[in-house]
Structure 1
């Protein structure tokens, strides 16, 4: 039971992350007095921080496939066919202004409260997100004890986590679209050339005609390179 004060004139401390439990605010336990956030809310926030890393990596892989495989040296594929259908919610979370930017805003506010310099530039969102998450996880015990705006930050992290989970779960499954022709060759050297399709929910591609498969990110890139090689070969024959 909560060891709440019976005096009506006394306002018992409440958890700054009240909405976590589905109520406006909930009272702290006697052993939690002196903290701003209760331990269950702290534990749930720590869990979300640990899950955001794998969620972001999954979304970033999907975003990479949407943008198209890149060759060594940074040149993009010459194919005009989009690699897989773009989903704006995926691109929005993985680009600048998405997960990395929102995590950095929280880190910067904590650094300011601690009297530290703002978060250093850490490169691309894929490079920055793990560093932001590590900082927040390491300093969460301080924040739940001492940072007055921690309730808003916990709510922001809750919303960000929910967005990533919803997008990663692919609640609105896109239809299949054409991604070009199959570049596999039969034993006699002839090209398959069957139409290939894919969705944003998976980078696995299976040719229904010859049975060729591309099932990993590395194999997807090989598929794009093989398709470009066939395009160059066809262009040479036409010339």
Structure 2
């Protein structure tokens, strides 16, 4: 070990780099004093600009799914027709805790650093997203130049934009919901394998016996058979 630093060590200088996690490139001389490089700023500005339009398209999709009805189907909570699985991935972005909440968290952090009053919630997510995006876009230059934690915010905005665009473009990862057990009899006994339905499709297939349910009538038959099997089990237990 060296007791004293060498002259070479004293002369070493670490050139500042962009704080964005997926970038880290050395800053240009003209970017002296900045935390994030201009290419990262430009890319983030573009993503912020696109987010309101992406949100509107997702919100329309989610609304259609929430109101979706099959011919002859019922929507009441007492309906015997299993519900059509919603697009959970879309609902997670347009609902509470989604795009609007994630943008609001960044705006609140920037306002606190700037010493500005934290803005109140701007109504529904659909009403809030344009205003939130406008604030972030207007203050992005300040953040890239003066806010040490901007790198994480840039990365969060990149991921949020990517999630929205992937869903709008159809590259979604379907969620799944539990819809009871398989009521098909196999060798004189119930299959009773747990069934799940994809958020992207109403088709159901049992992984145990291979039975399928796809149409409205088949969904009704599935639910009726499940209820019958539960009733029979309850009668035996009694």
For the superposition of Structure 1 and Structure 2, which TM-score range results when normalised by the shorter chain? 0.5 to 0.7
1:9 aligned residue (9, 12, 22) = 12
Equivalent residue for 1:34?
A: 33
1:224 alignment partner in structure 2: none
- 8 Å contact kept, 1:68–1:82: no
Q: What are the ranges of 5 or more consecutive residues in structure 1 without an aligned counterpart?
A: 1-6, 70-76, 178-194, 197-239
Root mean square deviation, CA, Å: 2.4
Measured after TM superposition, the shift of residue 118 of structure 1 is 1.0
Bigger RCO of structures 1 and 2 (CA < 8 A, at least 6 apart): 2
Separation of aligned partners in 1, 2:87 and 2:102: 20
For 1:45, the equivalent position in structure 2 comes to 44
Deviation of 1:83 after TM superposition, in Å, equals 9.3
Residue pair 1:28, 1:38 contacting (<8 A) in 2 also: yes
Per mean C-alpha deviation after superposition, the further-off stretch among 32-41 and 165-174 is: 165-174
Residues 88-111 of structure 1: per-residue CA shift (max 9 Å, x gap): 110000001011000000000000
Deviation at 1:37, TM superposition (A): 1.0
Structure 1 residue 166: Cα displacement: 1.4
Distance 2:46 2:29 in 1: 24
Matched pairs, number: 162
Residue of structure 2 equivalent to 1:95: 95
Is the 2:20–2:154 contact (alpha carbons within 8 Å) kept by the matching residues of 1? yes
Structure 2: unaligned runs, 5 residues or longer:
1-9, 69-74, 175-199, 204-214, 217-238
* Secondary structure at 2:22 match in 1: helix
For residue 155 of structure 2, what is the aligned residue in structure 1? 155
Bigger radius of gyration, 1 or 2? 2
CA distance 1:82–1:58, shift in 2 (3 Å) = farther
Scaled by the length of structure 2, what TM-score is found? Answer: 0.62
- 1:127 & 1:82 partners in 2: Cα distance? 33
Aligned residues of 2:21 and 2:152 also touching (Cα < 8 A): no
- TM superposition score normalised by structure 1: 0.62
1:35-114 → structure 2 map (5 Å cutoff)? 35-68=34-67, 85-114=85-114
Distance 2:132 2:115 in 1: 17
